[in-house]
Amino acid sequence: MKILLDTLGSDKGASELIEGAIMALERKDFNLTIVGNEEENRNIVNKRFEDKIDFVNATETIENNESPTKAIRSKKDSSMRKCFDLLNEDYDGFLSTGSTGALLTGATLITKRLDNVSRPCLMVTVPSLKGDVVVLDVGANVDVTSELLEQFAKMGYVYSKNILGKEDCKVGLLNIGVEEHKGDSLRLETYKNLSKYPYFKGNVEARDVLKGDFDVVVTDGFSGNILLKTIEGSVEFIKTLAKSKLSKLDEKSQQSIIPMIKSMSTGIDYNSVGSAPFLGTKKPVFKAHGSSNRDAIMSGILTLIKFVEEDVTDKLKKELANE
């Protein structure tokens, strides 16, 4: 298996990304191509895993404040553009911490979409009281139509059923109320469109997502990103609050409670989840958080490898063709 890593665009620099990739190589057998400042990257690797790592030099970086379409088309020597070009050759997947907009543009224009997919969407899984919940879109498509949300629902359903094993998968539409008449015109139209699918079970409010009554939660990228970051922020708040309370307990009590708190927060920490796929592309394109540390990059690469091993793209293609 051949994986591409874009080392330009991270908040923490290339070193943190590469160390995370090295940690992944220590746990899984695959070939890695590191794309970015070749001289710097070779120095960081320092001859580790020489038989498993290749380097490709790139002199340009796509910044978050650039026009995604213009940057992807004009910056042909950027690390992200080079990764997309290589992915179309004989590589199996690609991970980047770079601009979400540019990744979506590249995934659409260069990697190309699966049949019956208008735009790829960014998906994550979050833990709930009843197992993992698929949430999509979480940032790729801020402006959407009801037709796009319908496609997202189909892809989320396929992923949940085939990869998470949710045979009786229940899909919900994120909304401001559970009643059918709630929401803006987009939500009302989407509700009507989704009602023809037996797996659609209605609206779900943000406060109920982690209850796990729905296996897939569908929304636009704007609302989905806010939902995801609110969950992340809530976890950090609870952890901070718990630490302040723990400091007032004796050492024995602290030792018995700390593992439980860590276990509760692990699933929603982006450093443990690692990365999120753009569903609907012909080859896997994964986005990691811009502030990802080495643990997150390791997890992200391992998640990408699992995605490839389980033929998620092929399963999506087959299921979407049957719709």
The string of pLDDT tens digits covering residues 268-304 is: 555 666 788 999 999 999 999 888 899 999 999 998 9
- Give the pLDDT confidence score for residue 266 in this predicted structure: 59
Residues 141-174: tens digit of each pLDDT:
999 999 999 999 999 998 898 878 898 999 999 9
Cα separation, 264 vs 268, in Å, equals 8
Cα separation, 97 vs 274, in Å, equals 10
Cα separation, 292 vs 178, in Å, equals 35
Fold of 2-117+280-310: Isopropylmalate Dehydrogenase (3.40.718)
Q: Is the Cβ–Cβ distance between 97 and 289 less than 8 Å?
A: yes
Residue with tokens 């296996």: 215
Domain ranges of the chain: 2-117+280-310, 121-266
Q: Is the Cβ–Cβ distance between 62 and 99 less than 8 Å?
A: yes
Residue 208, amino acid: D
How many angstroms separate the Cα of 30 from the Cα of each of 21, 62, 131, 282, 307?
Answer: 11, 27, 29, 20, 14
Phi, psi of 142 (to 5 degrees): -75, -40
User: CATH for 121-266?
Assistant: 3.40.718.10
Cα separation, 119 vs 114, in Å, equals 9
Q: Say what the pTM is.
A: 0.86
The count of C-alpha atoms lying within 13 angstroms of the C-alpha of 283, restricted to the half-sphere facing its C-beta, is: 21
Q: Identical fold at 2-117+280-310 and 121-266? A: yes
- Region 193-205: mean pLDDT is 97
- Give the pLDDT confidence score for residue 177 in this predicted structure: 97
For the beta carbon of residue 234, count every other beta carbon within 10 angstroms. Answer: 13
Q: How confident is the model at residue 113 (pLDDT cuts 50, 70, 90)?
A: very high
Asked whether the CA dihedral 30, 272, 291, 128 is positive or negative, the reply is positive
- Region 178-203: mean pLDDT is 97
Backbone angle region of 13, left / alpha / beta, with phi > 0 → left and psi within -120 to 50 → alpha:
left
Q: How confident is the model at residue 107 (pLDDT cuts 50, 70, 90)?
A: very high
Q: What DSSP line would sit under 171-215, residue for residue?
A: EEEE-S-SSTT-S-HHHHHHHHHHTTSTTEEEEE-GGGGGGTS-S
Which of 18, 52, 12, 47 minimizes the C-alpha distance to 35?
A: 18
25: which 2 tokens? Answer: 């190589």
Q: Is 95 helix (H, G, I), strand (E, B) or coil?
A: strand
Which of 279, 266, 272, 290 minimizes the C-alpha distance to 138?
A: 279
- For the stretch 74-78, contacts whose Cβ atoms lie closer than 8 Å and that sit 24 or more positions apart, written own/partner, are 78/8
Q: Is the Cβ–Cβ distance between 27 and 298 less than 8 Å?
A: yes
